[in-house]
Each structure stands twice: as structure tokens, then as C-alpha cells.
């Protein structure tokens, strides 16, 4: 009798649970995506390994604006200051492009505070300095462009970037000694490194000028 009672109670419990339970049957449906909504382009573009700069422990990739003149400016600015207008380094070089006071004086800029707080003035200073260096190095640009020094092809943009780093006079010595007279700044960047890193940009937008002023 006890076994029958237990069996009946167990059966009754199953009936109750079955009555209140809800079962949903999911049917597999194939959904076709319209051609207009399909993605055909890879939106993830990896940055080149040698284009990563470090700020503390955070990796920062420079912008890449192609090989036109604006790309040249931004690539060089990122190397100099990570593109920041208000930076003054430990040696006193200033702004987005890290100009020294003597170079600014040659271009007619004497007010440091105004220079640091005026992005337009800094951009003009860069353009004027490129025009000035083009004039000073005009014969060397014509003579050496296309040749190879230390395994690196010499280009106009590489020459101009190196002149920004070390001055036009030192770049002349480097080219005319075929790389034997290489110099570096206080942070270890050399003429040869800049010649390679900034090669191949189109800097024809800026025309050479003798003693240009802002």
C-alpha cells in the first residue's frame, strides 16, 4: 500500500509539472543578407611597425596622410612633438615642429609666447623654413636626388627633413662626404635616419626662396 501511494504521488507531481511547463520549439531559419548591406571592404588598417611612438606605456600611432606635402608635415611633426603645438623640450626647442630660437629669428619671429600659442604661425614657420632650406640646398638636391648613400635612396623630402633636424650646412657635409660626416641630435636622431624615415614625400608644393620671412 505504501509503495502504491508513493507511486501515485510521484505520478501526480509529474502531471502537475507538465501542465505548467512551457516548451518552445525553435525553428532554424536561413536569413539572406541583401547585397546592398554586405560589407566588402576591410576597415581595419594596421599601422606599420616602425610608425609606432611611445608615450609612457601607451602606444600612439601617428596619422598617415599619404605622401603629399601635408603627409610630410604631419609625419615630421609627429616625430618631433607628437603633433603638439605647445611642447617645449628639455633643450628649449619649441612647438609642433620643435624650432630653435635662432631659426625663428632668421624667419622674423621673436616673440616665443606668441609663437607657442599660434598654430597658424607655426605652420607658416615650417613652410618658410622648408623654402629657405630648399634654396640653400638647391644644388645638392639636384646633384644627389636619386643616388644612394648608405643603402638609402636620396630624395628631396629626406634632404629637407634632415635639414630640419641638423641644419642645411650639416646636410651638405653629409651628402658631399657620401654619409661619412653624419651627425645626431641630443636625443640620438641622425641625418641618415631622417633621410631614410622621411624619404619619398612630394615636397614640390613649396618653392625655394632666398632669405624668406614670415
- Measuring CA to CA, which residue among 55, 117, 115, 100 is closest to residue 82? 55
What are the residue boundaries of the structural domains of the chain, listed by start? 66-197
Strand partners, 58: 55
List, for residues 172-211, the tens digit of each pLDDT value. Answer: 999 999 999 999 999 999 999 999 999 999 999 999 999 9
Give the whole-angstrom CA distance, residue 22 versus residue 148. 79
Task: Reply yes or no on whether the pLDDT at 15 is more than 90.
Answer: no
pLDDT digits 0-9 by tens, 48-82: 333 333 334 344 555 566 899 999 999 999 999 99
Which single residue is written with the C-alpha cell 630624395? Answer: 155
Residue 195: partners with Cβ closer than 8 Å, 6 or more residues away:
149, 152, 154, 155, 158, 159, 161, 162, 174
Nearest Cα neighbor of 76 from 23, 147, 133, 149 is 133
Say what the pLDDT of residue 14 is: 59
Amino acid at each position: 500500500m505504501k509503495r502504491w501511494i508513493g507511486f501515485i504521488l510521484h505520478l501526480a507531481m509529474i502531471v502537475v509539472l507538465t501542465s505548467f511547463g512551457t516548451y518552445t520549439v525553435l525553428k532554424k531559419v536561413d536569413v539572406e543578407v541583401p547585397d546592398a548591406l554586405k560589407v566588402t571592404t576591410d576597415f581595419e588598417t594596421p599601422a606599420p611597425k616602425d610608425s609606432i611612438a611611445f608615450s609612457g606605456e601607451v602606444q600612439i600611432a601617428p596619422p598617415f596622410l599619404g605622401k603629399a606635402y601635408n603627409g610630410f608635415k604631419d609625419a615630421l611633426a609627429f616625430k618631433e612633438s607628437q603633433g603638439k603645438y605647445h611642447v617645449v623640450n628639455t633643450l628649449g626647442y619649441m612647438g609642433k615642429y620643435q624650432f630653435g630660437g635662432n631659426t625663428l629669428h632668421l624667419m622674423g619671429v621673436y616673440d616665443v609666447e606668441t609663437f607657442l600659442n599660434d598654430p597658424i604661425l607655426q605652420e607658416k614657420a615650417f613652410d618658410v623654413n622648408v623654402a629657405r632650406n630648399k634654396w640653400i640646398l638647391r644644388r645638392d638636391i639636384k646633384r644627389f636626388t636619386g643616388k644612394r648613400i648608405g643603402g638609402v635612396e636620396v630624395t628631396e623630402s629626406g634632404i629637407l627633413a634632415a635639414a630640419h633636424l641638423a641644419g642645411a650646412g650639416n646636410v651638405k657635409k653629409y651628402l658631399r662626404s657620401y654619409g661619412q660626416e653624419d651627425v645626431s641630435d641630443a636625443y640620438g636622431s641622425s641625418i641618415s635616419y631622417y633621410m631614410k624615415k622621411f624619404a619619398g614625400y612630394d615636397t614640390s608644393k613649396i618653392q625655394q626662396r632666398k632669405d624668406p620671412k614670415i
